Amino acid sequence: MKHLCSLLCLLLLALPMSGKERTIKPGQIWPDAAGNHINAHGGGVLFHKGYYYWYGEHKAEKTSSALVGVTCYRSKDLVNWTYCGVALQVEDQVGSDIEKGCTLERPKVIYCPRTGKFVMWFHLELKGHGYAAARAAVAVADKPTGPFLYLRSGRVNPYCWPADWSEADRACADTLQAAHFGQWWTEPWRKAVAQGLFVKRDFNGGQMARDMTLYVDDDGRAYHIFSSEENLTLQVAELSDDFTYHTGRYWRIAPGGQNEAPAIFKHEGRYWLITSGCTGWDPNEARLFTSKSLLGPWEQLPSPCVGPNAKLTFGGQSTFILPVQGKLGAFIFMADIWRPKHPIDARYIWLPITFKDNVPVVEWRDEWVPEEVFE
């Protein structure tokens, strides 16, 4: 007994010395195991064989362009993260799609059981071309930490109309000419956007793809959800069995609604989508959508955010919703507080999602302990 007591005392003493943190402090510096502020922005988290893997954009001191690539961190408890290196490296080769200096944003990784590969999709803009390319890019790896092999990038689903459009919808969109709508934001322009003005404009070359996330549904089908049509409309596009191609089937969410930064989860048979408006690096009010099917129709509800600065999503922009393993109904809302003048100092907002009358709520907390909140 005496021995047992001494052993327990020793264990208790050792706990704080192990350096394990228990709290998440939204908006503050988040040191990894080596003491460096985590550098994985616009990220996503994959759970695989007992570990969470956090992938994100490596940000430099002075530029938001990609000088390194996609970083990867690993954790068992969601609080303490170990840096696992660069999962996807930008390339030195001039003219490469992912040449150093390109814009590489919002990487997300899913695991494909059919192929045994880890599949990363991200938003890619070519070096020196601002945000004009609006491409989706894909890379694969054999291990969660990479190295990821870059496969290809491009616009999405060329020569395809939205899957749920009728003959009449297609015929209507087919008559729309972007050249006839030189002036944006007019009533006729808005109507044309909703009817697919930009779907038609980009029909041959493929749909634009910027802010994005991935989602694997209960039946194992994977979907790519992204801001398209000049950031006016979100599209949900089905991925192939190996998760590395688009199948040509896609659906639109909130046409003309200007949604970015999509983050999605499913709870009790309902899909919930949190997005932002389009104000670049500046925060705006989060939006909440819900649907019984990933393919729509979606209904918009008021912002889920509650607390100080909730009107501006606490100064952040949504990026991912993390399902906590083994805990039914436990989700973490992930957002980024961007620092465009000092990108490496951008911060993370991780907050638990609670439910009020079955509707998700994201309430601000200065700090919180996942193992207490999700006990």
Residues lying near ligand GAL in the complex (CB under 6 A) are found at 42, 105-106, 211, 260-261, 278, 280-281, 317
Q: How far are the Cα atoms of 52, 105, 172, 315 from residue 193, in angstroms, in the given order?
A: 40, 26, 12, 30
Residue 200 contacts residue 179 (beta carbons within 8 Å): no
- When the beta carbons of 288 and 330 are compared against ligand GAL, the nearer one is 288
Closest distance between ligand GAL and the C-beta of residue 106, in Å?
6
Sheet architecture: strand order including 233-239: 212-216, 222-228, 233-239, 246-253
Closest distance between ligand GAL and the C-beta of residue 102, in Å?
13
Q: Which residue from 185, 275, 175, 176 is spatially nearest to 230, judged by alpha carbons?
A: 185
Residue nearest to ligand GAL (CB): 280
What does the buried/exposed string (b/e) look like for 242-261 if buried means 16 or more CB atoms within 10 Å of the residue's CB?
Answer: ebbebeebbbbbbbbbbbbb
- When the beta carbons of 273 and 330 are compared against ligand GAL, the nearer one is 273
DSSP 109-125: EEEETTTTEEEEEEEEE
Closest distance between ligand GAL and the C-beta of residue 355, in Å?
26
Closest distance between ligand GAL and the C-beta of residue 35, in Å?
27
Closest distance between ligand GAL and the C-beta of residue 273, in Å?
15
Question: In 142-277, where do the E strands start and end?
Answer: 149-154, 212-216, 222-228, 233-239, 246-253, 260-267, 270-276
Q: How far apart are CA 159 and CA 204, in angstroms?
A: 5
Residue 146 contacts residue 88 (beta carbons within 8 Å): yes
Question: In 77-116, where do the E strands start and end?
Answer: 82-89, 103-112
Closest distance between ligand GAL and the C-beta of residue 251, in Å?
21
- When the beta carbons of 20 and 342 are compared against ligand GAL, the nearer one is 342
Residue 305 contacts residue 291 (beta carbons within 8 Å): no
- When the beta carbons of 66 and 332 are compared against ligand GAL, the nearer one is 66
- When the beta carbons of 111 and 338 are compared against ligand GAL, the nearer one is 338
Instruction: Report CA 229 to chain centroid distance, whole Å.
Output: 18
- When the beta carbons of 42 and 370 are compared against ligand GAL, the nearer one is 42
Residues 6+ apart with CB under 8 A from 88: 69, 70, 98, 107, 120, 122, 139, 146, 147, 148, 150
- When the beta carbons of 26 and 107 are compared against ligand GAL, the nearer one is 107
Residue 136 contacts residue 212 (beta carbons within 8 Å): yes
Closest distance between ligand GAL and the C-beta of residue 103, in Å?
7
- When the beta carbons of 27 and 43 are compared against ligand GAL, the nearer one is 43
Closest distance between ligand GAL and the C-beta of residue 101, in Å?
15
